[in-house]
Amino acid sequence: MIGRVLGLGRALAEAGAPVSPAELVDALRAVAALEDLARSPLRAALRATMVKDVSALPIFDVLFDIYFPMANPTDQDLAELDDAAMRAELEVALRDGDDERLAALAAAAVERFGEVHSGAAVAGAYYAYRTQRGLDLERVREELLAGLARPHDAELDWREREREARRRLQSFSRHIDDAVRARLARERDPDELAHSLGLRIADDVDIMNASREELAAIREAVRPLAAKLVARLERRRTRRGGPLELRRTIRRSLSTGGVPLEPVFRPRRPHRPDVVVLTDISGSVASFARFTLQLLWALAGELRRLRAFAFIDAVDEVTPLVGGSWDLDAALRAVAERAAVVGKQGHSDYGAVFAQFEERFVDAVSPRTTLIVLGDARANYHEPRAEVLDRLARRARATHWLNPEPARYWDSGDSVMGAYAPSCTSVVECRTLAQLERFVEEVL
């Protein structure tokens, strides 16, 4: 038991949610105090003592199932069904939304179709794929759509049924993933299995290389991160700390015999910058641009003004299209359809974009403006025209460049980051939400 608790702590640290020695001691004491070592109270005790941030809870749940796997939950009745009968049971459970039955069916299907071999290397995704193929989920989806149908459905109703069928099948696929992990956890070394999954908390996931599931987790993490930053910025601007007001301090000290027990400070003048965001939305950095814009717009109340400009090899203002929208996917689709961001080439051309921006939108940049450029500075071997960015930077209060590529790749191939860096107040490698959070807090 002690070894598994310590292994869980190591796996959490590897995933970016470190557990301190004191918290490990608390976890072991909590386990020792349990009268019942069933999985439910054990999970609650370890979660309360080892998890400090809500963003780490999904990873904790996965790792707990690896280090403390369930006993084989296969239902013998389901195991005796033939393939057709198992699919029929699955269709009924999906129509009824019976989550407990779906979990049991997933476990039985993994045993039948997954063909998990105890001596083989860890290959959870492959076993899940074989299970889904064995169940023929495409046929199940068609049967589910037919079962959800109502007489005289309109096209809108049909689309709604299709979305609902997709949602239920995705939920069942997660049950299959859980069943595969449980099956592997009963036979494999938990440290090896945990390491093979490559789990990372959303704040530390590389946005440029994130999977679909990781992008969904990052999307969910942006809103609470924005709320936390707003509260932190508000506290910073309202706390005492302006210049000492000497005359009022002396006047107040007369009531205490001339001793200035209560110094008087001038109110701190809040700095609310104008922010202009100039973002590359080409395919290579689109995900990074999406989450950065989403976070900045959540902080718009802390800024005097926020304007957004998007580009590929032409630039256009997109403030009305993305401003205030939490659905940044839809907003960026609107940008691609309605904004003039594609020129002659259709590939990033930073030099041409900066020249167009200076010609059309130079009035957006003033001595009050903080200019933020989002992009990888890969100009596809076009002329960088760094002198144009330098002129814009001289007009601005500060210029910051956020580059989602690792710094070791800058100035390699068609990257011209080195040409632009001298004009910038800072050039920051920014690939994760944690790095983005640090930048926003320091700059704003």
pLDDT for 388: 93
Q: What is the mean pLDDT of residues 412-440?
A: 86
Could you tell me the residue range of the domain that residue 18 belongs to? 1-67
Mean pLDDT, the chain, integer? 77
What span, in angstroms and rounded, lies between the C-alpha atoms of 32 and 41? 12
Q: Same domain for 337 and 385?
A: yes
Tell me whether residue 202 is in a domain: no
pLDDT tens for 42-68 read 888 888 888 887 777 778 888 887 888
Tell me whether residue 206 is in a domain: no
Q: Of the segments 49-58, 177-186, 410-419, 426-435, which one has the largest average pLDDT value? A: 410-419
Q: Same domain for 277 and 361?
A: yes
pLDDT for 357: 93
81/423: higher pLDDT: 423
Helix (H, G, I), strand (E, B) or coil at 310: strand
Q: Tell me the pLDDT band of 392, cut-offs 50, 70 and 90.
A: very high
Q: What is the DSSP string of 72-131?
A: ----HHHHTS-HHHHHHHHHHHHHHT-HHHHHHHHHHHIIIII---TTSPP-HHHHHHHH
Q: Give backbone dihedrals phi and psi of 413, rounded to 5 degrees, phi first.
A: 60, -125
pLDDT tens for 369-388 read 889 898 889 888 889 999 99
Residue pair 292/261 in contact by the 8 Å Cβ criterion: no
Q: Same domain for 63 and 123?
A: no
pLDDT for 423: 93
Q: Same domain for 94 and 48?
A: no
Q: Please state whether beta strands 274-280 and 305-311 pair in parallel, antiparallel, or not at all (unpaired).
A: parallel
The proportion of the chain whose per-residue pLDDT surpasses 70, expressed as a percent, equals 75
Q: Same domain for 218 and 289?
A: yes
What span, in angstroms and rounded, lies between the C-alpha atoms of 168 and 173? 9
The proportion of the chain whose per-residue pLDDT surpasses 90, expressed as a percent, equals 10
Counted residue by residue, the chain has a size of: 444
The Cα-based distances of 49 to 36, 58, 203, 272 in angstroms read 17, 15, 21, 40
Which residue in the block uniquely carries the two structure tokens 């330098």?
390
Q: Which residues contact 363 (CB under 8 A, 6 or more apart)?
A: none
Q: Using alpha carbons, select from 35, 40, 61 the residue that is nearest to residue 50.
A: 61
Q: Tell me the pLDDT band of 119, cut-offs 50, 70 and 90.
A: low
pLDDT for 395: 92
Q: Using alpha carbons, select from 227, 222, 200 the residue that is nearest to residue 211.
A: 200
129/187: higher pLDDT: 129
What span, in angstroms and rounded, lies between the C-alpha atoms of 320 and 189? 53
pLDDT for 25: 87
Q: Same domain for 10 and 91?
A: no
Q: Does pLDDT of 151 surpass 60?
A: no
| Weakest-pLDDT range from 23-27, 42-46, 333-337, 425-429 | 333-337
Q: Same domain for 348 and 225?
A: yes
pLDDT tens for 245-272 read 888 888 888 888 888 878 887 766 655 6
H/E stretch holding 392: helix 386-395
| Weakest-pLDDT range from 146-160, 215-229, 256-270, 308-322 | 146-160
Interior angle at CA 89, CA 160 and CA 212, nearest 5: 50
Q: What is the mean pLDDT of residues 190-218?
A: 69
What span, in angstroms and rounded, lies between the C-alpha atoms of 58 and 47? 11
Q: Give Cα 438 distance to the centre of its chain.
A: 15
Domain CATH for 398:
3.40.50.410
| Weakest-pLDDT range from 78-82, 132-136, 408-412 | 78-82
Q: Which of 222, 249, 269 is the last residue of a domain?
A: 269
Residue pair 184/193 in contact by the 8 Å Cβ criterion: yes
Q: Same domain for 93 and 232?
A: no
Q: Which of 26, 50, 67 is the last residue of a domain?
A: 67
Sign (positive or negative) of CA dihedral 59, 63, 69, 74: positive
Cα end-to-end distance, the chain, whole Å: 47
Tell me whether residue 436 is in a domain: yes
25/197: higher pLDDT: 25
Tell me whether residue 205 is in a domain: no
Q: Same domain for 99 and 109?
A: yes
Q: Same domain for 275 and 360?
A: yes
pLDDT for 210: 66
Q: Same domain for 334 and 352?
A: yes
Q: Which of 39, 67, 95 is the last residue of a domain?
A: 67
Sheet holding 305-311, edge to edge: 315-317, 305-311, 274-280, 369-374, 398-403, 426-429
Total structural domains in the chain? 4
Q: Give backbone dihedrals phi and psi of 160, rounded to 5 degrees, phi first.
A: -65, -40
pLDDT for 156: 47
pLDDT for 351: 92
70/44: higher pLDDT: 44
**Token duo for residue 370:** 């903080």
Q: What is the mean pLDDT of residues 210-229?
A: 68
pLDDT tens for 358-367 read 999 999 999 9
Q: Same domain for 275 and 263?
A: no
